Amino acid sequence: MTNDALARDVKPTPAQLNQPRVPATTFKAYKTMRGKNGERGPVAPRPLPGVPPRPHSFRLHDSVKLADDSLTTKPAPRPPPRLPKPPPPKRQRVDATSDVGTPEERRVWPLTQHAIERHNAAGEDIAKAPPAPAPTPPYAIKQSATGLGMYATATLYPADIILSEVPLLTTRRGATPGDVRAQLRAAPPGNWLELLQLCVGSGDARPAIESLLDTNGIPCASEDADNPPFGIFKVASRINHSCAPNAGWYWCSVKKALLVVAYRKIKEGDEITASYLSPEVLCKPRAERRERTLVGFGFECACVACEQGGARSDEQRAIIARVLAAGRQMDHWVGAHAASIRQAKEAIEAMRAEALVPVAAELRLLQYYVHAAWREDASAEVAARKALEALAAVRGWHAAKAHFVAKFVKDVTCWRSYGVCKPAESGRAPRHSKPAPK
């Protein structure tokens, strides 16, 4: 075997491979640090012939200088011992059967599947804070059959916050054009431009500014007030009206912003609509609704529900209207147990058929009152939970949790203590609680 072949065959051992390699430059400099007799310490390089030695100017390689300093100067204080890092807080993983929050919160916080998924994905504590709108807007403003409109660019689920927006301008009905102009002068100049691009009622004889405010104004108050302030919005004012809205808005007094929330599942590409009419008016027949939109907002409604709905739709809405009216006469409603339960069920079916989410919470609440008054606790709890979920879809989870309905979920018997009705004393024996229908 030749020397070359031998060299090729001799492979380094694993220990040799693991030895730290000394950079060539460092090694060269290291050699200069050792004296002839092997003593340690920096040694001046030998003076070149003809060049006078410069005792303090010799320059070693940087790495050697460091080594040199560490030998001659006081050793640097040792860094404090590293404490072991605390383990990252475990994110609670939930599934369809578990809830987040405290046990108390869990009673008032039934979770929808989507909310669970979002909690798991984002790690947000949905039991504590209202969910924030998605980081990328899940909508686009595009041409619709009735001017511009808002369209979903992703699938949306009930109670999803689609948009959170502050108004360009807030005013009250009855404010003079002069008041509005003064307000606009005080607003940032960009707001003017945005405002002027909004839609103005067609064929409206009133001054443009008045027409613009009436057409695009959205109430900005958390409570139903007599003359609530209303705001004009760059984006939300582009949302068209529907008599079967798949979304809606409410004013969040904490954020001082309008929140647009999904009432039901909205598929990507669908138009996002809201109702300009109250839930009571939505239960009226089509002709009446159209008249209301014409008188109140200057257009005859051309939504899908109006275009496709006929006598059947009017009938369904009439059923809901009857139950809502009956339910307001509380004594009669809770006293007529069997009839009320049947009517509430019918109205809930009609609400589903008409996709009228804005009345869902009230119908469920009426169901709750009868069950609770007749000591049907399990059914009462189901009705109260459904009322809360419906409320969350319309007003957001945060507002729903603060609503009195949440109390009924916590304690289904609490309504009885209001003493509005005592059916047990009306001659009929109270019923025993029976298991809730699944």
Q: For binding to ligand SAM (CB under 6 A), which residues are involved?
A: 146-149, 198-199, 201, 215-216, 237-238, 240-242, 297-299, 301-303
Based on CB atoms, which residue is closest to ligand SAM, 213 or 409? Answer: 213
Cβ atoms of 357 and 282 within 8 Å: the answer is no
Based on CB atoms, which residue is closest to ligand SAM, 275 or 379? Answer: 275
Based on CB atoms, which residue is closest to ligand SAM, 102 or 202? Answer: 202
Distance, in Å, from the CA atom of 171 to the CA atom of 180, rounded to the nearest integer, reads: 7
SS3 assignment, position 218: strand
Residue 340 CB, shortest distance to ligand SAM, in Å, is 34
Distance, in Å, from the CA atom of 294 to the CA atom of 297, rounded to the nearest integer, reads: 6
Residue 173 CB, shortest distance to ligand SAM, in Å, is 16
Whose tokens are 């003493």? That residue is: 419
Residue 237 CB, shortest distance to ligand SAM, in Å, is 5
Cβ atoms of 250 and 157 within 8 Å: the answer is no
Residue 282 CB, shortest distance to ligand SAM, in Å, is 12
Residue 396 CB, shortest distance to ligand SAM, in Å, is 22
Based on CB atoms, which residue is closest to ligand SAM, 200 or 324? Answer: 200
Phi, psi of 140 (to 5 degrees): -140, 145
Based on CB atoms, which residue is closest to ligand SAM, 105 or 204? Answer: 204
Residue 228 CB, shortest distance to ligand SAM, in Å, is 17
> Which residue's CB atom is positioned nearest to ligand SAM?
147
Residue 276 CB, shortest distance to ligand SAM, in Å, is 7
Based on CB atoms, which residue is closest to ligand SAM, 257 or 388? Answer: 257
Give the single-character DSSP code of 397. H
Based on CB atoms, which residue is closest to ligand SAM, 147 or 430? Answer: 147
Q: Which residues, other chains included, contact 64 with Cβ-Cβ below 8 Å and sequence gap of 6+? A: 26, 29, 30, 32, 33, 42
Q: Which residues, other chains included, contact 100 with Cβ-Cβ below 8 Å and sequence gap of 6+? A: 92, 94, 106, 109, 111, 119, 125, 126, 127
Q: Which residues, other chains included, contact 48 with Cβ-Cβ below 8 Å and sequence gap of 6+? A: none
